[in-house]
Amino acid sequence: MPAAPRLKILIPHAAIRRRVRAIARRISLDFRGQPVHLIGILSGACIFLADLARELELEVSIDFMAVASYGRSGKSSGQVRLIQDLGSSIEGLNVIIVEDVLDTGLTLDYLRRTLLARRPKSLRSVVLLDKRSRRLAPEVHPDYAGFEIPDQFVVGYGLDWAGRFRHLRDVCVLLPASRAGRRARSATIP
């Protein structure tokens, strides 16, 4: 039987909560009482979107899209494809794309182009994690970002590995089993 994966906490839940509140305050100020329409990118952004929506001091509507660029390997394929489209029109709305991780920039670039064609009043993006070192589309930047992180595979707070670990409150680095024993703040996950 293979060894259970081990995790190292990269960003503790308390820090995530503080940063989500700060982002929500900034968005609330930027839109000054105007309604916003959050578009969560499934499935990784679901927890971030829920926490962000509850902290906004604005009228909020929510919809979801699903796109794919990753396989089970944890590496981007470089091609983005739409799996689930929005349930309603965004024409004339203040739209904010809510993403879990911005790495290559290809997904966010695809989403921006796709959504701009639908004539929203405004279009912005917010990401929880920004991996700038992996950017293949250097012109792509989020309007709001939580944390810049190194090029490591992370799970928790909505992010998964092969469908596992989304439920974790912290953002954690998934450690290879062979190196896991040498990490100080790691935990065995069943």
Q: Sorting pLDDT into bands at 50, 70 and 90, what band is 139?
A: confident
Q: What is the pLDDT of residue 5?
A: 76
User: Between 36 and 138, whose confidence is greater?
Assistant: 36
Q: In which band, very low, low, confident or very high, does the pLDDT at 75 lie, cut at 50, 70 and 90? A: low
Predicted pLDDT at 185: 43
Question: Which residue has better confidence, 81 or 14?
Answer: 14
Q: C-alpha 77: how far from its chain's center?
A: 18
- Alpha helix positions (H), the chain: 13-31, 46-55, 106-116, 177-180
Contact 101, 135 (CB under 8 A): no
Q: How is residue 86 written in tokens?
A: 């929005």
To the query of whether residue 103 is one of the catalytic residues in this protein, the response is: yes
Please give the Cα distance from 8 to 184 (Å, whole number): 8
Q: Is the pLDDT of residue 53 over 70?
A: yes
Q: Which amino acid is at 127?
A: V
28 pLDDT band, cuts 50/70/90, is very high
Q: Which of 103, 143, 151, 170 is catalytic?
A: 103
**Pairing verdict, β 94-102 and 122-130:** parallel
| pLDDT computed for residue 85 by the predictor | 87
Task: Domains for the chain: give ranges and CATH numbers.
Answer: 13-150 (3.40.50.2020)
Q: Order of strands, edge to edge, in the sheet holding 154-155?
A: 154-155, 171-175, 6-11, 186-188
Q: Is pLDDT at 1 greater than 80 in this prediction?
A: no
Rounded to an integer, the average pLDDT of 19-27 is 98
pLDDT the model gives residue 2: 59
Q: What is the pLDDT of residue 184?
A: 40
Residue 182 reports pLDDT greater than 50: no
Q: Residues 177-189: what's their mean pLDDT?
A: 46
- The least confident of 12-16, 22-26, 142-146, 178-182 is 178-182
